[in-house]
C-alpha cells in the first residue's frame, strides 16, 4: 500500500496544532502562515506576558504569563510608552530616542524623537494597513503618533515607516496651561484620544486631516478618570465615585454636540480582588 503524500501529513499536523489551547502557545512554530491560521481559529490573541516598569530605575521587565520567554526580558534605561499588535514602543532614557521592540524576535529599531518632544508627551505605535484584522501584522508598515504639550500649545505629528520621516507638526493654541496625563491613548476610528489635567480631552486625527481638537470631560472631572474603548468600538470613560465604578460612553448628536451617557455602575464592595504587580502595558502575541 502506497503512503499518503507528504503534504497530506503536513496538513494534518497543522490541523492538530491549530487546535491546541492558546494558554501555552510557546510550543508552536512561529511561521507567519501558521500564526495567522492559529489566530483565525482562536480569534483572540493569547497573552504571553506584560511589561512591568520600575519608574525609579527606568527599567522595563517582561513578566511572562506562560512558559514563553523572549530573547531579552529586561530592557535597561527604558520607559514603556505603548504596546499594540505585537510591537512595544519605549523611550530610551540614555539616548532620548524612541525604541520599537519586537519581544518575539528581540529585534529593535531606534527612532529619533520629533523636535517638539518635551517632558510631557505620549506616543503610540499603530498599524498602517487599512481594514487590517491585526491577526499577523507585526512586521508590516506602521505609523507612530507623537503628542505633546508645552505651555498653552498642543503638538502632534506622525511617523511613517514607509518614508522614515515625521510629518509636519499639528498645533492647537489654548488659553490656559495644561499637562498631558501619563495614560494610554485610545484609538477610535482614525482619531487618538488622550487626557490632560485641565478637564479636557484631546482628539488627534491620524487620518487625512491630521488636526487636533478638544472637548470636555464629565462635569465631575477627576484626574483619576480613565479613557477606554467601549464594546461597540466607541470612546468610553471610567470614573470612580467613592466605592462605585461608573462606565460612560461618548455620544454625538446630529448637530455634532457631544454628551456622556452612563452605561453601567459597579459596586466595588462586591468585587473580590488581589493585589498584583504594577502593570504598565500588556504584550499580546
What ranges do the domains of the chain cover? Answer: 7-45, 220-273
Residue 98 bridge partners (DSSP): 91, 111
pLDDT digits (tens, 9 = 90+) for 134-185: 666 666 688 999 999 877 899 999 999 889 999 999 999 998 888 888 888 9
Query: What pLDDT is attached to residue 135?
Result: 64
**Could you tell me the CA-to-CA distances from 271 to 238, 245, 266 in Å, in that order?**
16, 11, 9
Identify the H or E element spanning 154.
strand 153-160
pLDDT tens, 83-138?
888 789 998 888 778 999 888 778 889 988 888 766 678 999 988 766 666 666 66
**What is the rounded average pLDDT of the residues 223-246?**
89
Bridge partner list, 171: 155
CB atoms within 10 A of CB 266: 13
What are the cell numbers at 79? 520607559
Is the confidence at residue 49, as pLDDT, over 90? no
- Give the mean model confidence (pLDDT) for residues 59-76: 83
Burial (0-12, 13-18, 19+ Cβ within 10 Å), 201: buried
Percent of the chain with pLDDT over 70: 72
User: Mean pLDDT throughout 66-80?
Assistant: 83
pLDDT of residue 121: 87
Amino acid at each position: 500500500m502506497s503512503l499518503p503524500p507528504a503534504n497530506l501529513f503536513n496538513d494534518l499536523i497543522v490541523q492538530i496544532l491549530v487546535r491546541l489551547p492558546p494558554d501555552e502557545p510557546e510550543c508552536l512554530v512561529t511561521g507567519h502562515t501558521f500564526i495567522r491560521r492559529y489566530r483565525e481559529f482562536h480569534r483572540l490573541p493569547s497573552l504571553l506576558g506584560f511589561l512591568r516598569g520600575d519608574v525609579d530605575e527606568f527599567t522595563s521587565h517582561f513578566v511572562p504569563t506562560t512558559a514563553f520567554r523572549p530573547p531579552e526580558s529586561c530592557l535597561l534605561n527604558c520607559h514603556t510608552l505603548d504596546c499594540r499588535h505585537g510591537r512595544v514602543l519605549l523611550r530610551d532614557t540614555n539616548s532620548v530616542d524612541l525604541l520599537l521592540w519586537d519581544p518575539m524576535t528581540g529585534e529593535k529599531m531606534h527612532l529619533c524623537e520629533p523636535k517638539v518632544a518635551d517632558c510631557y508627551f505620549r506616543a503610540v505605535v499603530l498599524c498602517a494597513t487599512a481594514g487590517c484584522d491585526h491577526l499577523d501584522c507585526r512586521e508590516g508598515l506602521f505609523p507612530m503618533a507623537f503628542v505633546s504639550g508645552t505651555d498653552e500649545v498642543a503638538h502632534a505629528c506622525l511617523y511613517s515607516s514607509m518614508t522614515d520621516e515625521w510629518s509636519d507638526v499639528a498645533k492647537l493654541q489654548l488659553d490656559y496651561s495644561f499637562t498631558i496625563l501619563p495614560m494610554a491613548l485610545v484609538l477610535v476610528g482614525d482619531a487618538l484620544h488622550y487626557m490632560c489635567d485641565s478637564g479636557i480631552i484631546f482628539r488627534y486625527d491620524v487620518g487625512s486631516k491630521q488636526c487636533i481638537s478638544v472637548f470636555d470631560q464629565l462635569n465631575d472631572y477627576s484626574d483619576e478618570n480613565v479613557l477606554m474603548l467601549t464594546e461597540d468600538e466607541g470612546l468610553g470613560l471610567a470614573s470612580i465615585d467613592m466605592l462605585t465604578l461608573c462606565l460612560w460612553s461618548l455620544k454625538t448628536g446630529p448637530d455634532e454636540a457631544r454628551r456622556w451617557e452612563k452605561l453601567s455602575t459597579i459596586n466595588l464592595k462586591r468585587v473580590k480582588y488581589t493585589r498584583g504587580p504594577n502593570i504598565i502595558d500588556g504584550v499580546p502575541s
